[in-house]
Amino acid sequence: MDTLENFTFDEISIGQTASYSKTISERDIILFAAVSGDVNPVHLDPEFAAGTMFKEQIAHGMWTGAIVSAALALTLPGPGAIYLNQNLSFRAPVKIGDTITVKLTVTEKREDKKYLTLDCNIVNQHDKTVALGTAQVIAPTHKMRIPAPQLPPIAIG
């Protein structure tokens, strides 16, 4: 994604959809642990995780939340959106190698405040729902098409 482009409030219609996918690696789990401070061994230690009900390492639940927020910020409405509310219900574990897809659907537009409500359905590569929720954002009023900043390289270990 070299360019970031948004949909303005006026360009958005009820029922509009977008999706965003990401595959989780062990690297993502380590980075999420670093950024949150949550170093629980069910995420980080394969041996410990093997003894839990999950049988193997699982992603932090809120990693899925991070991907939902990225879907809103990158696709619908995209840059310039202001995040107001998110609720998320975690339904199934996400494991290393899983590809999750956030499916966004606009369900409500509130003209006076430029609020959007979006249904968020997050599925894995087997189309199993791993999380469900609703987001509310203020949609941008100005069209934006900007180059995506490049991240510096990140080395682990």
Provide the binding-site residues for a second copy, judged by CB under 8 A. 1, 4, 20, 22, 28, 30-42, 44-45, 48, 60-63, 65-70, 73-74, 79, 83-90, 146, 148-157
List, in order, residues 6 or more apart from 83 with CB less than 8 Å away: 69, 72, 73, 135, 137
Which is nearer to a second copy, 15 or 47 (by Cβ)? 47
For the bound state, the minimum distance from the C-beta of residue 112 to a second copy, rounded and expressed in Å, comes to: 18
For the bound state, the minimum distance from the C-beta of residue 44 to a second copy, rounded and expressed in Å, comes to: 4
Which is nearer to a second copy, 4 or 96 (by Cβ)? 4
Instruction: For residues 62 and 17, give the distance between their C-alpha atoms in angstroms, rounded to a whole number.
Output: 22
Which is nearer to a second copy, 42 or 96 (by Cβ)? 42
Which is nearer to a second copy, 40 or 129 (by Cβ)? 40
Instruction: For residues 70 and 73, give the distance between their C-alpha atoms in angstroms, rounded to a whole number.
Output: 5
Place of tokens 């999950």: 54
Compute how many other C-beta atoms are within 10 angstroms of the C-beta atom of residue 35: 11
Query: What per-residue string of b and e applies to 48-72 under the rule 16 or more CB within 10 Å gives b?
Result: ebeeeeeeebbbbebbbbbbbbebb
For the bound state, the minimum distance from the C-beta of residue 71 to a second copy, rounded and expressed in Å, comes to: 9
Which is nearer to a second copy, 14 or 70 (by Cβ)? 70
Residue 40 three-state SS: coil
Nearest to 82 by CA among 133, 121, 136: 136
For the bound state, the minimum distance from the C-beta of residue 105 to a second copy, rounded and expressed in Å, comes to: 19
For the bound state, the minimum distance from the C-beta of residue 11 to a second copy, rounded and expressed in Å, comes to: 18
